[in-house]
Structure 1
């Protein structure tokens, strides 16, 4: 590792010179009788030659092994070459967890130094590919100087990658470089939540994996897991409530922490945090805002161990003026009225269905047809126009024996019809997690969730062109609530009426949130808190946005065009898939309105626990999987099962042995007392 120490080999000449100098000394020995002279001379010379040669060899070997101990010799792993070209893929985990301190330095800095030494000590002609979480692909292999510069430029990133992705990219690089084998050097802290089971043998067939752990002492970390508003819209000059879930991972903090709530940079509320044995708590903070428009809500705590996850952000629009039109056949529906009048963020207008044709629907985000027993051609065309314009509609049909009167207008909308009435009492058995209503309501559907019950229901059928998606469905597959997107807007059709005589759906805790989400889909979202790395889109409705006038995401120093796809009257924008760094971003296009989105970090990095390397070696083992460690000198060396004993230690032991042998020979050389 340190070849310049070999220059000290010139000191090997010192024992040789001492040996030659001693051979030039002569000593006169007096004998009482000359008849023993020949025998004594022969014996003395023989023993002297043996003793001096052994002493010289011991001194030479002592210096030899001492010099090599400082030079730290090692046997390199078998080089993987193809056509004389060597490929080393160096992955450095630069996720947030690698920013934790390991002594006076960050774990990331220690990994970078070891990787830099690896590059400098590599054989001439070795090709490198440097990968990180925010640079998951390499366009071409690099020379030593380029790889060294790339390693030095690495810094902490909000992005995270799985080991499968790194292995796949290593295989692509191997093929691009026409190398038969590639070495993947994996510098990471090997978090418990981020390092899965080993890839398949097929993926690793031409790859040698070198696991190089960089792990600090585990410490506790308090972080904000999630937060959400208790209302679907932010209300001005009234108390708004935000529920905050905080967790403690590892050692509990010695002192209570403070949780602050800020709106547009001004602190509005605070709470003191302390944890029990459950290591989690739920707090509700209250605040008020004045004026309309987008508000930037930040929740922050003063945890000094790991700071990247101490802030949770929510972008909420105050007074969005979402408008809902409820057209009733007969009496007003008290459940619909109670749902929307509970919050002043919605404007509900109820009217008789007989006035539907004369009413302008364009100003409404959601149109509800309640208790309808007949949809004629004129009503059907009116519904089709609203859907073509991208509005949302919800139909709660009334019970009637003249089903054809309903189908007459439904066929104007799409290939949708009601075929019969099922009078059996049935409970919904399935909640479709892929539905926009469900995925915005639940992060994960509870196992014991109670689904609504229908005392009767229409049997709904639809053709392929209607793009049917069930939200709630019965055991036999019939939908209880179905979504259709035959055009830009979304049509929600319930198989039963919205009254308690038809079932408990209006009284269930699905009814009101579903109506809220239907209305918000027609006018865009009013609350956004997106997780970095999320593959789920956010729905945006902005005027003047098209394929030629694309939506941009702006922040100080950031101008990104996120992936976007038309959906009804708006766009599905994959913000979390493109943006990596937490913060508030403005989504807008030239000449269009703007929407604000809050981006939060992935909570997987908040768990400070590391995988046990010994246990990991038992899982990840094979001829092409090896484990190394970063030694005190900053170089990587073999460790764990099957690791070789460091050669420099062997050299030190042998040098001590040679020193002992020299002492023994010198002791024998001393004359015995008379």
Structure 2
């Protein structure tokens, strides 16, 4: 680590091997990395940094023989540049190098160069790294040991302005986004300079319209979270931009975001007897939720796809048809909340055939032991943005009796509420694209005071809106990320592509259990908004 740090700091002027370099003896293999990230648009004393890097590369080439081997590496890690070529071919590649939104950290570059050298038998191996060595990508503590068989040359390219202010990330503060109501977005701003900035401004545009702004001060080298309140006027997918102004380094002044907005969340409650008054009271207070109550003898299975949540409310006996439809609904991305009946006669066996198929814990006999809920699993994403802080001495709900559950070793259970005696009261089980929530109690005053407790409303809201694969506001170019496509049943013969204006690409994709996952693998090089298009439909 110290040796590498010294190398980078030592070359105030880029060092290039001279005519008498010992690398002249025998055949040479030379890998040259040019950092072509946006920061290389900066201007130094010798002009634009990316052009300076290309000129320095030409100087490096002039020091070697025609018979030597050369390889050019840039941030896109293009496959066609992973092998060695002759000097003339590398000069042709060099002329096509342009600034890219993709960035790589130094450790990634060094590892890639080391792997490339495995493909040569040349006796002399030299790696050149030409970069402005930004703090965000030059993390020395993450660099593995250097290959002792390779001669490393680090060539710093220095711009006139070393400081930079950029937007690091952004997120919405609420899982519920409503039309014509105030919503809030927060974003992290990083000041990588030694100067304090007063009255710095961030702006939000949504669907091309100015929606709000925030003004704040930044201390030298400070990271600050700012927020903007805004109204949404359109349902469906909304596209936005958070922007700042930091001249002359402007490539990271805009952060693109997109998110879906539903007009309403439709909930179906299938009731064994009467509709649950506590459930109706919670959802009735918010017009965003549209609740339909049906009795077990009047279920419209064909309408299940219209709902995001189905509540099975104290049904004594689940029919085989209902079980099959609930499994299908969950597999396609729906959420099911299962509330067992107050009448415990024969319940366990009837419900357990459904629970077993989903891979959930099974219901056992009931316990009439009074106990308090002790634990909220606040570390689980389910509770994200639900409670800012829970005091240590807070009094949580009490149960008077409950169904005991098995603890199956093979389940994907995530416990959400637990009693002091260790028994689970509310569990989450992901199943294919959806989720099953299993309660050990019906929402009935004889069983528990949970429906009258302050945590009941936010927990119920989260159940209705929860996704085990929540969408991201944005994805970062250059990072190898798996991108899931939400709640859409995909056939194995569908092919998807991403389109933006005249550009389109078919990324690597995998369909498993009707769920599509895409892998960008460096195929996107321009920031912006891309539309997902199928050969059978548009998304």
Classify the TM-score, shorter chain: 0.7 to 0.9
Residue in structure 2 matched with residue 132 of structure 1 by the alignment: 74
Whole-Å Cα distance in 2 between the matches of residues 391 and 349 of structure 1? 16
Alpha-carbon offset, residue 553 of structure 1: 0.9
In structure 1, runs of 5+ residues without a counterpart are 1-71, 595-674
1:127 is displaced (CA, Å) by: 0.8
1:113 equivalent in alignment to 2:61: no
Q: 1:513 aligns with which of 462, 466, 470?
A: 462
Q: Cα–Cα, structure 1 residues 407 and 204, in superposed 2: closer, same or farther, change >3 Å?
A: farther
Instruction: Please state how far the C-alpha of 1:154 moved relative to its aligned partner.
Output: 1.8
Judging changes above 3 Å, is the alpha-carbon distance between structure 1 residues 581 and 425 closer, same or farther for their aligned structure 2 residues?
farther
Unaligned residue ranges in structure 2 (runs of 5+): 1-15
Listed as ranges, the matches of 1:502-581 within 5 Å are 502=450, 506-507=455-456, 511-518=460-467, 528-532=473-477, 533=479, 535-542=481-488, 545-566=490-511, 570-574=515-519, 578-581=523-526
Deviation at 1:447, TM superposition (A): 11
Residue among 168, 172, 182 paired with 1:225 = 168
Give 1:185 shift: 1.2
Give runs of aligned pairs for residues 634-653 of structure 1, distance below 5 A: none
Structure 2 distance, partners of 1:446, 1:127, is 59
Report what 2:210 is aligned to.
267
Contact 1:460–1:479 (8 Å) recurs in 2 = no
Which residue among 175, 185, 189 is the counterpart of 1:246? 189
For residues 166-190 of structure 1, give each alpha carbon's deviation from its aligned partner in whole angstroms, at most 9, with x where no partner exists. Answer: 3333333222222355221122233
- Post-superposition offset of 1:99: 2.7
Residue 78 of structure 1 corresponds to which residue in structure 2? 22
Residues in 1 aligned to 2:319 and 2:363: alpha-carbon distance in whole angstroms? 14
Q: Which structure has greater helix proportion?
A: 1
1:315 and 1:554 mapped to 2: Cα distance?
Answer: 15
**How far off is 1:235 after superposition?**
3.9
Aligned to 2:12: none
CA shift in 2, pair 1:430/1:234, >3 Å: closer
Measure how far apart 1:88 and its partner are.
0.8
Instruction: Note if contact 2:42-2:161 (Cα within 8 Å) is conserved in structure 1.
Output: no
Deviation at residue 364 of structure 1 after TM alignment:
1.6
1:457-477 CA distance string (max 9 Å, x none): 63244474xx62425476979
> Cα distance 1:225–1:334, how it changes in 2: closer, same or farther (>3 A)?
farther
Query: 2:182, 2:229 within 8 Å by CA — same for their partners in 1?
Result: no
Q: Deviations over 1:307-357 (max 9, x none)?
A: 12211222233445542213345553546753686363x433234556447
Contact 1:380 1:410 in 2 (8 A): no
Q: CA RMSD in A?
A: 4.1
- Deviation, structure 1 residue 400: 6.5
What residue in structure 2 maps to residue 144 of structure 1?
Answer: 87
Distance 2:18 2:124 in 1: 22
- The structure 2 residue matched to 1:188, chosen from 127, 131, 143, is 131
| Per-residue deviation, residues 629-672 of structure 1 (Å, max 9, x unmatched) | xxxxxxxxxxxxxxxxxxxxxxxxxxxxxxxxxxxxxxxxxxxx
1:427 is the counterpart of 2:374: yes
- Whether the 8 Å CA contact 1:129–1:142 is kept in 2: the answer is yes
Q: Tell me the secondary structure at the aligned position of residue 246 of structure 2.
A: coil
Compared with structure 1, are the counterparts of its residues 74 and 288 closer, same or farther at alpha carbon in structure 2 (3 Å cutoff)? closer
Alpha carbons of structure 1 residues 463 and 143: separation in structure 2 relative to 1, 3 Å:
same
TM-score normalised over the length of structure 2 = 0.77
SS at match of 1:362: helix
Seen in structure 2, the aligned counterparts of structure 1 residues 119 and 551 have a Cα distance that, compared at 3 Å, is: same
Give the structure-1-normalised TM-score: 0.64
SS at 1:395 equivalent: strand
TM-aligned CA deviation for residue 405 of structure 1: 0.7
Q: 2:286 aligns with which of 328, 342, 357?
A: 342
Distance (Å, rounded) in 2 between the aligned partners of 1:556 and 1:230 = 32
Distance verdict in 2 for CA 1:493–1:102, change over 3 Å: farther
Q: CA 1:106–1:267 in 2, change beyond 3 Å: closer, same or farther?
A: same
Find 2:230's aligned residue among 275, 281, 286.
286
Which residue of structure 1 lines up, in the alignment, with residue 532 of structure 2?
587
Larger RCO of the pair (alpha carbons < 8 Å, separation 6+): 1
> Which structure is larger by alpha-carbon Rg, 1 or 2?
1
**How far apart are 1:583 and its partner, in Å?**
0.8
1:538 and 1:574 in contact (8 A); partners too = no
On the 8 A contact 1:432/1:472 being kept in 2, the answer is no
